[in-house]
Amino acid sequence: MLNLKNFINYVEKRNPNESEFLQAVTEVVEDIIPFLNENYPEYETLKILERLAEPERVVSFRVAWLDDSNTVQVNRGYRVQMNSAIGPYKGGLRFAPDVNLSILKFLAFEQVFKNALTSLPIGGGKGGSDFDPKGKSDNEIMRFCQSFMTELYRHIGAETDVPAGDIGVGTREIGFLFGQYKRIQNNFTGVLTGKGVNWGGSYIRPEATGYGLLYFVACIYDYIDQNLEGKTVCISGAGNVAFYAAEKAIALGAKVITLSNSSGTLYDEDGFTHEKLTYIATLGRNIDKFTEKYKSSSFHAGEKPWQFKCDIALPCATQNELNGDDAKKLIENGCKCVAEGANMPSTAEAITVFHAAKVFFAPGKAANAGGVAVSGLEMSQNSIGQQWTSAKVDTRLKAIMENIHKTCLRYGKEESGYINYLKGANIGGFVKVAEAMKSQGIV
């Protein structure tokens, strides 16, 4: 019998000082080990869990580049190729000053389960750099991306490893990375997703994570015979995921009252509208300027959104942005549903609070899988040399999110009737990857 404590100690010993990676592994094995002891005892001798917690390959490399004042800058680039049992490694690239191996390993580990849940043939990976894009010129971003790809290109490929965006990496960066890959390899191929729609990208990819998150939340409410009409929503972040989550929430009849970034939280008691969101998009990171135009709003410097009364909370910024105290505050204020647009935004303490209060808690690996799902659809379109309409991609995205919701119900429904979405997602993702690993032998 596998023992939870022993396994966590084993992972901790092998990966010292990697707190985020340990947190992500713990969050999964707490559900997997009891399930596995009961249903798949043979996986212990096959060391399936030990293998899942060990990246197939990690590359780390120097990225040197010249800034606009002709000063040499040195950053560190990484790619964590976690698991390829069900398809080529797939997952985003993050450019942010706090990027380190622990963060990329946690993200790559989560990605393995998330990608399996989409039901598409994609393995898990993640990469990035400690490069800080804030305040950099377009030319600096381009030179950094070119230098980064000049090493990364030898480790990736349309059927090997297909990176995409994440924090600090959007269509502009994917463009510079793609241009450099094509120049080095002399090959126009689907080696990255999140490309522009007129050069190989898929419609709906920018919207996919936020839209998919709301399709998942709509499934949760549909399950209890309700809808989102009139529900109050707090969102954190003001980037790709947060923005399109807000847009879709509003379209589904909800009232979105917050957005945020690392400087603070923007609150609008009247709720954001499509017009207000369009205006926010023009403000860049200066979302506090919104209050000058809209008197119903206020900016709360240095604060998080979780103090405001809402029915639904959607953390869409970064890991560990919602702690145990925030969770308690949300519950006190009547919040009934928390769905993660970001990866691992809730701390372990916060998740314990949500489960104890029996609120719906949808983990990122299920709720934010829409982004990578449409990336998978972009890979399909590239490989057959076609581009599908927005309507077709959106319909497929919705079906994928509904299917993930069904998987969560299948493996996460408890005797009391409470749906433990975390357990459902962990087991649902695990079963597919573990069976593939077993079939492929000891590798």
Judged by CB under 6 A, the residue of 55, 237, 363, 428 near ligand NDP is 237
Kindly identify the residues of this chain, within the stretch 315-334, that bind ligand 2IT according to CB under 6 A. none
Counting Cα atoms < 13 Å in the Cβ hemisphere of 432 gives 25
Residue 204 contact partner, candidates ligand 2IT, ligand NDP, none, CB within 5 to 8 A by sort of partner: none
To 10 degrees, what angle do helices 101-117 and 19-39 make?
Answer: 40
Kindly identify the residues of this chain, within the stretch 89-118, that bind ligand 2IT according to CB under 6 A. 90-92, 111, 114
Q: Collect contacts of 287-292 with beta carbons under 8 A, ≥24 apart.
A: 287/238, 287/259, 287/260, 287/261, 287/263, 288/263, 288/264, 290/266, 291/266
150 contacts ligand 2IT (rule: CB under 6 A): no
Contact 221, 419 (CB under 8 A): no
Judged by CB under 6 A, the residue of 49, 116, 316, 422 near ligand NDP is 316
| Burial (Cβ within 10 Å: 0-12, 13-18, ≥19) of residue 412 | buried
164 contacts ligand 2IT (rule: CB under 6 A): yes
Q: Which stretch binds ligand 2IT (CB under 6 A): 231-239, 370-378, 386-394, 410-418?
A: 370-378
- In the complex, minimum distance from the CB of residue 318 to ligand NDP, in angstroms, rounded to a whole number: 4
Judged by CB under 6 A, the residue of 117, 122, 142, 167 near ligand NDP is 167
- In the complex, minimum distance from the CB of residue 52 to ligand 2IT, in angstroms, rounded to a whole number: 18
Residue 193 contact partner, candidates ligand 2IT, ligand NDP, none, CB within 5 to 8 A by sort of partner: ligand 2IT
Q: Residue 1 CA to chain centroid, in angstroms?
A: 32
Nearest to 220 by CA among 425, 373, 393, 390: 425
Q: Residue 121 CA to chain centroid, in angstroms?
A: 18
Nearest to 217 by CA among 392, 361, 429: 361
Q: Which stretch binds ligand NDP (CB under 6 A): 78-86, 138-146, 164-172, 290-298?
A: 164-172
342 contacts ligand 2IT (rule: CB under 6 A): no
Output the CA torsion sign for 99, 102, 105, 106: negative
123 contacts ligand NDP (rule: CB under 6 A): no
- In the complex, minimum distance from the CB of residue 236 to ligand NDP, in angstroms, rounded to a whole number: 7
One of 126, 248, 329, 336 is an active-site residue; which one? 126
Contact 311, 235 (CB under 8 A): no
Judged by CB under 6 A, the residue of 87, 168, 200, 201 near ligand NDP is 168
Known active-site residue 126: yes
Kindly identify the residues of this chain, within the stretch 334-353, that bind ligand NDP according to CB under 6 A. 341-343
Q: Which is nearer to ligand NDP, 43 or 140 (CB)?
A: 140
Residue 273 phi, psi dihedral angles, 5° rounding: -115, 175
> Which 3 state secondary structure label does DSSP give 243?
helix
Strand 297-301 to strand 264-268: parallel, antiparallel, or no bridges (unpaired)?
antiparallel
What stretch of H or E contains 404? helix 390-412
Residue 241 contact partner, candidates ligand NDP, ligand 2IT, none, CB within 5 to 8 A by sort of partner: ligand NDP
Judged by CB under 6 A, the residue of 123, 239, 428, 429 near ligand NDP is 239
Query: Looking only at Cα atoms, what is the longest distance across the chain?
Result: 64
Catalytic residue IDs: 126
| Residues lying near ligand NDP in the complex (CB under 6 A) | 165-168, 209, 237-242, 261-263, 285, 316-318, 321, 341-343, 368, 371
| Residues lying near ligand 2IT in the complex (CB under 6 A) | 90-92, 111, 114, 164, 166, 193, 343, 371-372, 375
